[in-house]
Structure 1
Amino acid sequence: MTPLYYVVSFVMVGFHSLFGRIFGDASGAAWVLSIIGLTVVIRAALIPLFVKQIKSSRNMQLIQPRVKELQKKYAHDREKLTQETMALYKETGTNPFASCLPILVQMPIFFALFRLIDHAADGKGRAFLTPTLAQQFGSAEIFGVPISGTLFTSDGNAGVIVMAITLVVAMTATTFLTQRQLMSKNMPPDAMTGPYAQQQKLLLYVLPIVFAVGGIAFPIALMIYWTTSNLWTMCQQFYVIRNNPAPGTPAAQAKEERDKAKAAKRGEPVAGAAGTTTAGADTAGEDALPPMHQGGSSRPAQRQQPKRQTRSQRKKQPPQQPHKSQ
């Protein structure tokens, strides 16, 4: 954990040196904003991992019909089913555990921050968090509530109790809504059953309970970090689902309707019910105009003029025979 202490404290102290000039070195606002800055830096660094998670999650959704076929085919042979399923994952480049990677990577950072806050509450410094900074951090308050306080150590302080309960609810709600957003908007109907769906449902209900129970012992500063991280995840996931949804999902249908509405607003051709466009219908109408010999008003084709020839070329040509009258 020592390298993580240095990384986390370095980022926090760096932001604190910036916000401390505005709000004061000992102010709670400077330290809270430093925690939010730490969250933004960590989540920005995890964007490649998030992209990998999205791709793997989408592959898991798309291969669910093939997984179901394997389950029917090898229903009585669990070993063969496992082998064929793993071969399918390898063929499609899918990692069934990729959805847990961002959380797993963040947990060591989470515990490192927890230990730094715990030491700062006792006035002890660690890594780049010097004893002086640790004392400021441990005694910093936001809205009159110490950010190092917990529900267990509130000693009847109404402000700590209210803020801790509020942040526990916010942390639990954002965790639940983030997972719910993924399942309701970006999962096709075929993927709502089977092992992958069971895994998603497990995360949907278990993770909020874990954070709700653990949040009772978390310092307020730590819950600010995790709630900010959840809000980042919600916004990031909303952007991806809205602009690049998985095929056959409600999000994909909504994007198709938005694209049609934008095209109609710009006056671009929009596909109709019969699969033809407005411009196509106009073109077809023009092509369907009756020809001249059917009484139409089309202009006759111009008569092609003979090419000009020199006198020597005309002498070389044989004389033309007159046409016999019929």
Structure 2
Amino acid sequence: MDLLWPIKWVIELILVTFHNLFVGVGIASASGISWVLAIVGLVLVVRAALIPIFVKQIKSQRNMMLVQPELQKLQKKYKGKTDRESKERFAKEQMALYKRTGSNPLSSCLPLLLQMPIFFSLFSVLNNAQRDLAGVGLMTKNLANSFSQAEIFGAKLSATFFGSDELNVKIIAGIMIVLMSASQFITQKQIMAKNQNPATQNSQFMQTQKIMLYALPLVFLFSGLTFPLGVMTYWLVSNFWTMGQQFVVIRNMPTPGSPAHDARQDRLIKKGKITREEPKALEAAGEAEEEKPPQRVQPVSKNRAKKKKK
């Protein structure tokens, strides 16, 4: 049994519904524009459904950045200790730290991982459609034939960079691959450049973010050479959504101590919503709280202890 069958059915439902909608307003059924707009509609529905997950991801990412100084202290505490007991204590304390701060090392990958079944299902649906094969739901043989023949700028949506000898297919695919890789790079770069607390610069978390900065665009670069134009349309629109969504979040919900946070404070000061002294007062209060020594517990003498018992 195909485990992706339910997802394929829903994808076909959304695609066919949007396709019929655009055909209803006068766009030709076999036109590439109607199918491209249907794919855009699919992206909007999927990404809107993932907004709660994205909000949770942002909060967890912010907590991961803020927890890095404590995590580095913990790593320093167990540095060089390779015995089993020390490793178990380190793992236990690390998990307790993540739980206490509400952070998750895998949070940045969660929306991408949730989209993978959708992506594979979409690839399967469009791959079958380009071969004139009916889908599992509303994608009938006639609609599959309509999709397989649909063209955008003279290139079939079912065509791939390596699978076609036509120059216009290679040009369109090449432009889409560059845009996919660039949008992914910009999205990751704005996180590191604008939403990074200086205290986390040399942390393991930020090293992982730096690897992702170059790794993910390379994934799009090489995989895009074999994907149909219809599938690349999905990822390109999805990347643009992510880039815009990330910009809005960083602007309005920046990590404390980051350049984006300072920029937001300046905007609030200019609008008169806060005074210039308020951020400094809050920062000073936080530092004073951290530097405040713990109150020493005075030992109770034996005579005073006896009196208390009486």
> Do both proteins adopt the same fold according to a TM-score greater than 0.5, normalized to the shorter chain?
yes
Q: Which residue pairs with 1:297 in the alignment? A: none
Q: Which residue pairs with 2:161 in the alignment? A: 151
Aligned with 2:196 (options 171, 187, 190): 187
Aligned with 2:269 (options 254, 260, 268): 260
1:23 partner SS: coil
Structure 1 residue 271, shift from structure 2 partner: 3.2
Distance 1:87 1:269 in 2: 36
1:150 partner SS: coil
Aligned with 2:61 (options 36, 53, 57): 57
Distance 1:227 1:175 in 2: 9
Structure 1 residue 83, shift from structure 2 partner: 2.3
Structure 1 residue 81, shift from structure 2 partner: 2.5
The amino acid of 1:54's aligned partner reads: I
Aligned with 1:271 (options 276, 281, 304): 276
Which has the higher Rg, Structure 1 or Structure 2?
A: 1
Q: Which residue pairs with 1:17 in the alignment? A: 20
Is 1:236 the counterpart of 2:223? The answer is no
Structure 1 residue 211, shift from structure 2 partner: 1.2
Is 1:33 the counterpart of 2:62? The answer is no
Q: Which residue pairs with 1:113 in the alignment? A: 122
Q: Which residue pairs with 1:206 in the alignment? A: 215
Distance 1:231 1:191 in 2: 27
Moved more, 81-90 or 138-147: 81-90
Contact 1:20 1:26 in 2 (8 A): no
Is 1:68 the counterpart of 2:72? The answer is yes
Contact 1:188 1:247 in 2 (8 A): yes
Structure 1 residue 117, shift from structure 2 partner: 1.1
- For residues 271-294 of structure 1, the C-alpha deviation after alignment (integer angstroms, 9 at most, x for no partner) is 369x89xxxxxxxxxxxxxxxxxx
Contact 2:269 2:275 in 1 (8 A): yes
Q: Which residue pairs with 1:88 in the alignment? A: 97
Distance 1:269 1:148 in 2: 55
C-alpha RMSD of the superposition: 1.6
Query: Aligned in 2, Cα 1:76/1:272: closer, same or farther, shift over 3 Å?
Result: closer
Structure 1 residue 41, shift from structure 2 partner: 0.3
Moved more, 9-18 or 80-89: 80-89
Q: Which residue pairs with 2:111 in the alignment? A: 102
Distance 1:200 1:36 in 2: 28
- For residues 134-181 of structure 1, the C-alpha deviation after alignment (integer angstroms, 9 at most, x for no partner) is 0001110011111110011112x0110100000000111111111111
Aligned with 1:217 (options 203, 226, 243): 226
Structure 1 residue 244, shift from structure 2 partner: 1.3
The TM-score normalised by the length of structure 1 is 0.80
Contact 1:75 1:81 in 2 (8 A): no
Distance 1:270 1:121 in 2: 61
Contact 1:20 1:27 in 2 (8 A): no
- For residues 164-210 of structure 1, the C-alpha deviation after alignment (integer angstroms, 9 at most, x for no partner) is 00000011111111111111111101112121111111211111111
Q: Which residue pairs with 1:5 in the alignment? A: 8
Distance 2:90 2:221 in 1: 37
The TM-score normalised by the length of structure 2 is 0.84
The amino acid of 2:20's aligned partner reads: S
* Bigger relative contact order, structure 1 or 2 (CA pairs below 8 A, ≥6 apart): 2
Structure 1 residue 87, shift from structure 2 partner: 1.4
Distance 1:45 1:248 in 2: 31
The amino acid of 1:51's aligned partner reads: V
Aligned residue-pair number: 270
Is 1:172 the counterpart of 2:197? The answer is no
Distance 1:200 1:25 in 2: 43
Q: Unaligned stretches of 5+ in structure 1?
A: 277-326
Q: Unaligned stretches of 5+ in structure 2?
A: 282-310
Q: Which residue pairs with 1:129 in the alignment? A: 139
Contact 2:65 2:196 in 1 (8 A): yes
Contact 1:246 1:252 in 2 (8 A): yes
Q: Percent identity?
A: 47
Distance 1:87 1:154 in 2: 54
